[in-house]
Amino acid sequence: MDRDNNVSGAEGILRFYDARGYRYVVGTGRRPAIVVIDFSNAFTRGALQFPGGDFAAEMRQTCRLLDAARERGVSVFYTTIAYADPERDSGFWGKKVPWLSRCKLGSAAVNIDAILDPRPDEPVIVKKFPSAFFGTDLNDRLQALGIDTIVLAGCTTSVCVRATAIDAMQHNYRTLIAAEAVGDMDPGLHAVHLRDLDARYADVMSVDELLSYFRTVPRQ
C-alpha cells in the first residue's frame, strides 16, 4: 500500500477532530515513569510467521527518552506479549491474531530489543492482552513508587499503545504519549489513532517536549 496515499486517506478523519474542538490537555505531574510498549524482537525484527514492522526511527527516539530518564532517575518499565502456552493463554485474541502463538515465553522473540539497552533494574511486564494493566502488576508497581504520570513509547499505536493509554487514564494517571517514539504497521492507522488518543485520553507530546519536562521533575 502506498504510504503517501494511505496518510492522505486519513486526512478527512483527522479534520473531524479539528472541527470538533478537541484541544484540552491533562498536563504533567511531578513523578513520571516511562512505559515502553512491546518493542520486543517479534515486533521490531519479526519472527517466524510473525509480521513485525520497521520501528527503527521510533526506537531511536525511545532511546533518547530512556537516556534522559536514566539520568534523572525516572522509573522505566517495558512490556512484552508472552505466553507459557500460547494456544491456551492468548484466549480469543489469539483466535483473531493467530501469529501471537509465536510469542512463546522464554523465546528470543519476546525479549526486549537490544537497541534499547534494557537495564537489569528496569522491569519487563509480561502481558497476555493489549493493555499493560490488564492481568499484570503494573499498577501496583507504579503505586508503590508514587507515580502520577506515565510516558508511553512503543508499538503499536492502534492496539497496545492505545489500550494502555486508555487504561492509564482510567487508573487516574496523567498520560503522555511520545509522538515520535510510538509507531504502527500502517501510517494511516498510526495517524488516526494518535490523534484520537490526543483528543480523548492523553496528551501527545514531542520527544523534545518530554525531555524538557524530565529536566523539571525532582531527581528520583
Cα–Cα dist 153/38, whole Å: 9
- Rounded to 5°, the CA angle 55-136-151 comes to 45
- The answer to whether 63 is a known catalytic residue is no
Cβ proximity of 191 and 167 under 8 Å: no
DSSP one-letter code for 113: P
Catalytic residue among 63, 103, 155, 160: 160
Using a 10 angstrom Cβ sphere, with 0-12 exposed, 13-18 middle and 19 or more buried, the burial of residue 40 is: buried
Cβ atoms of residues 151 and 65 within 8 Å: yes
Catalytic residues: 160
